[in-house]
Structure 1
Amino acid sequence: MAQSAASARRLVRTALAAWDLEDQIDDATVIITELVSNAVDHGRHTSIRVLLSRPAEGRVRLGVVDRSKDLPVLRTDSHGDQLRGRGLVLVDALAERWGTELHRWGKQVWGELRCESARPGSTHPEVADHGSG
């Protein structure tokens, strides 16, 4: 998981810097780390796919695709010293919105950040990275 998350964070930092959105890097790297962690822990395959896109002006979408159709669960309860299982609480707090898209072969879990582009009209095509889980 550590290697996959590190690769995903590098991809996010590179894409956001290219899009002149450095002010979003901190939140985006936390979001992608949590999404990658969930995909590695719960996916049914040895690889995942990390996606970054600009679906609209003023938005960045970070997504992770895995082979599992199990929906993520936002856990807000606290059971003693349980340290795992609350990554989506961070995603929910940092992302303007997040969700899941089911596919016949698995799912994509994504989070979106609202941002102001330093270069108006700088919507770029999707950037993808294949990492191992």
Structure 2
Amino acid sequence: MGRQDLARLHRRVGRADLAAVAEVRGAVRKLLRYRWEEEPAQVAELLLSELVTNALVHTGDGAVVAVSVEPQKLRVEVRDFVPGMPLSHVPNADDGTHGRGLVLVESLADSWGISAHALGKVVWFELDGERP
């Protein structure tokens, strides 16, 4: 695999900077534009948005987003710096659109997980994709 087959993105998102979610999503869209088919790229954007939003809303702190793209695989990691593991639950119908982030990741990602660190955690997912 040549160097041109690898692409990476690394962004720090500030505390409560929900506007940055759209910026990171746009950066991933550009990163995937000529590398992946449209449908898996849209799934990647959706799941990335969910994880970054969760990190900002539920921790009250900033986050670091790392994305790596290979021809057949995408990995997204969202790291926060607050102890404690996120809970995955099925929200009730009255919750509107809240509480669905990890449920979406569980159902749409090819693999995903949570890694605890001395300071905070990383929630990650991987998608298998295809070149256009």
Bin of the TM-score, shorter chain as denominator length: 0.7 to 0.9
Structure 2 partner of 1:38: 54
Within 1, Cα distance between the matches of 2:46 and 2:117?
25
Deviation at 1:116, TM superposition (A): 2.3
Within 2, Cα distance between the matches of 1:113 and 1:38?
19
Amino acid in the other structure paired with 1:28: A
> Residue by residue, what CA displacement relative to the aligned partner does 1:27-70 show, whole Å, maximum 9, x if unpaired?
0111011001110012252x21111013x662101121111222
Aligned length: 114
Task: State whether residues 51 and 123 of structure 2, in contact with CA within 8 Å, keep that contact through their aligned partners in structure 1.
Answer: yes
Amino acid in the other structure paired with 1:27: V
Structure 1 partner of 2:4: none
Within 2, Cα distance between the matches of 1:67 and 1:34?
17
Deviation at 1:115, TM superposition (A): 1.0
Task: State whether residues 68 and 74 of structure 2, in contact with CA within 8 Å, keep that contact through their aligned partners in structure 1.
Answer: yes
Q: Does 1:93 align with 2:123?
A: no
**Structure 1: 5+ residue runs without aligned partners?**
119-133
> Residue by residue, what CA displacement relative to the aligned partner does 1:7-45 show, whole Å, maximum 9, x if unpaired?
110121122125x11422210111011001110012252
**Structure 2: 5+ residue runs without aligned partners?**
1-16
1:21 to 36, 46, 66: 36
Q: Does 1:11 align with 2:24?
A: no
Q: Does 1:64 align with 2:78?
A: yes
Within 2, Cα distance between the matches of 1:22 and 1:67?
33
Within 2, Cα distance between the matches of 1:14 and 1:38?
23
Amino acid in the other structure paired with 1:94: L
Amino acid in the other structure paired with 2:51: L
Matched residues, percent identical?
34
Within 2, Cα distance between the matches of 1:4 and 1:85?
20
4+ residue stretches of structure 1 with deviation over 4 A?
none
Within 2, Cα distance between the matches of 1:27 and 1:98?
14
TM-score normalised by the chain length of structure 2: 0.76
TM-score normalised by the chain length of structure 1: 0.75
